Amino acid sequence: MSTIKYRTKDGVADYAFSFERQTGGDWRAFILSQPSYGGRDESALITHRLAEGGRKFVCWKGRLPSESNARAVAAEWANATQEYIRTGRRF
């Protein structure tokens, strides 16, 4: 398990993630902190977040066989989320 802080590519927001290996070997990016959605829809379908044991993680279709894959997905998710917060455009 490792944790990182990620600043979005627009330089506006910071996100924090915990990367954890799951039973079976795949990785998951748990969301430790992120900006508010500012009143936008926060449903799992719209925000691409799922929950396990009260913790939210990035919903990704497909396998994440390495921590580096999970880190790349988390960065992509954070940038897309930041765009959604700013414009309302879904991803």
Burial class (CB in 10 A: 0-12, 13-18, 19+), 17: buried
Rounded Cα distance, 40 and 14, in Å: 18
Please state the φ and ψ torsions of residue 79, each to the nearest 5 degrees: -65, -40
Q: Nearest-5° angle of CA 4, CA 6, CA 48? A: 100
Q: What pLDDT does residue 61 have?
A: 92
Average pLDDT, the chain: 97
* Residue range 13-18: mean pLDDT, rounded: 98
pLDDT higher than threshold 90 for residue 59: yes
Percentage of the chain modeled with pLDDT above 70: 100
Rounded Cα distance, 79 and 57, in Å: 15
pLDDT band with cut points at 50, 70 and 90 for residue 1: confident
Domain spans of the chain?
2-87
